[in-house]
Amino acid sequence: MAKEKYVESITSRDVDFAQWYTDVVRKAEMADYSSVRGCMILRPLGCAIWENIQKGLDQRFKALGHENVCMPMFIPESLLDKEAEHVEGFAPEVAWVTMGGTEQLQERLAVRPTSEALFSDHYAKIVQSYRDLPKLYNQWVSVVRWEKTTRPFLRTTEFWWQEGHTVHETAEEARQETLRMLDTYAEFCRTELAIPVVKGRKTDKEKFAGAEATYTIEAMMHDGKSLQAATSHYFGDGFARAFGIQFSNRENKLQYVYQTSWGASTRLIGALIMVHSDDNGLLLPPHIAPTQVMVVPVAQHKPGVLEACQEIVDKLAVVCRIKMDASDKMPGWKFSEHEMHGIPLRLELGPKDLANGQAIAVRRDTGEKQPVSLDDLVGTIPELLEQIQKDLYDRAWQLMQERTYTATDWDSFSSIIQEKPGFVKAMWCGDQACEDKIKESFAATARCMPFEQEHLADTCVCCGKPAKSMVIWGKAY
């Protein structure tokens, strides 16, 4: 009874995916709306997931030699103006500070929408010689983009992210950095978030304002839509010329640096929800779950039950993130509450289990129950968590395969993209007119030109002219 009551307020995923998403965010207490238009509050669970994402990425960045810094949250308008394409791309969505205390500012300050301008300004000051290169900086901050319509985690006026900004001696090294960081994101999504991604390059239409090339990892959500999970940009020496980042090279000549930037944000939490979760609420892969195992005592007033549960917690605390729920709620209520919050594994233990020297392990992803011996928990539980992690990835990978289609002519492309949610692989001539036509016709975009190219046909699926590359098309968040 309790369970049904608790869960009934969630819309079914198959009935209304958008409403289901919002329900999970609210009901699992991950985020809340604030009194500031378009800005969300990361509640403890959402924040703890973000902290785990930070930890996982940060240690990968540091292992590759990156250092963290903190730049100001403001950018003077004149500084933002220095790189023409960049300012054109971002100016329409900037929040402007015009007053400090009671005084009108002489120059407006942008609340950073991204920090290329600040990093470039700083690099121009601190880089003198090739000996100072490379500089591999990153920062963990929130940024602001004035959005018209917002959705928690997916598109909010303020969001949290990391932005890496690096400068290099050679174009080759900067290009390698761009791809190395894309690989880092892809590996992180696969290993920690159990989310398979497609690596590829953005078309010129979709690339970052000011970049020579933008690379992306695209993930498929449960409804078949695409989500850009992280991006990595190669800037060439564009920003370096605009900001004057020069150094004496090995021949003792002045030269511009080559630059990159790359970022991943709280959007990843949106992806976690839309890839793995279900009608029972949030479902978190064990590697990223703040609590991996919840112990729920059954008939906890019976002698020995609570003590045995506490013993389980003490034993397992060294090998996983575990908690016990000894509150006075009914077990059924607890079950559905912890399912809603996405905890990957539940351990139930009542008097009968205790007598049998076992607990009942219940998987959040399959609902499958199995007895586990109390003597061997330190061995079985981490194994079970790894199994869940692997199964979640496999399930997501399977779905992505099933929903990746191929189209070689306009008719098949047109019917697939309208009727079958997912990725559509098709050849493209490289002309933006075709991208525009597809966008107008189907509200679909070129998600990326995958690194793993296939030769599906000789001609562009749209205009019939000779094809240059294979593109993955889709509708996107």
> Applying CB under 8 A, which residues contact its own copies?
32, 34-36, 39-44, 47-48, 50-51, 67-76, 79, 91-102, 108-109, 111, 118, 121-122, 125-126, 137, 141-142, 144, 146, 158, 160
d(CA 291, CA 52): 11
Q: Using an 8 Å Cβ cutoff, are 4 and 333 in contact?
A: no
Collapsing DSSP to helix, strand or coil, 425 comes out as strand
Residue with tokens 């630059």: 259
d(CA 443, CA 389): 34
Q: Kind and range of the H or E element at 75?
A: strand 74-76
Nearer to its own copies, 109 or 309 (CB): 109
Question: DSSP for 91-132?
Answer: GGG-EEEEEETTEEEEEEEEEPS--HHHHHHHHHHH--BGGG
Nearer to its own copies, 92 or 303 (CB): 92
Nearer to its own copies, 76 or 332 (CB): 76
d(CA 130, CA 267): 37
Nearer to its own copies, 144 or 361 (CB): 144
Shortest spacing between CB 181 and its own copies, in angstroms: 18
Radius of gyration of the chain (CA): 25
Measured CA to CA in angstroms, residue 306 lies from 178, 193, 291, 349, 416 at distances of 53, 33, 19, 9, 56
Shortest spacing between CB 188 and its own copies, in angstroms: 20
Shortest spacing between CB 154 and its own copies, in angstroms: 16
Nearer to its own copies, 32 or 394 (CB): 32
Residue among 158, 160, 141 nearest 38 (CA): 158
Nearer to its own copies, 186 or 269 (CB): 269
d(CA 35, CA 19): 21
Shortest spacing between CB 72 and its own copies, in angstroms: 4
d(CA 258, CA 37): 38
d(CA 292, CA 385): 8
Q: Using an 8 Å Cβ cutoff, are 6 and 29 in contact?
A: no
Q: Which two tokens stand for residue 386?
A: 């790894």
Shortest spacing between CB 354 and its own copies, in angstroms: 29
Q: Using an 8 Å Cβ cutoff, are 443 and 475 in contact?
A: yes
Residue among 275, 301, 278 nearest 288 (CA): 275
Shortest spacing between CB 94 and its own copies, in angstroms: 6
Nearer to its own copies, 138 or 231 (CB): 138
Collapsing DSSP to helix, strand or coil, 255 comes out as strand
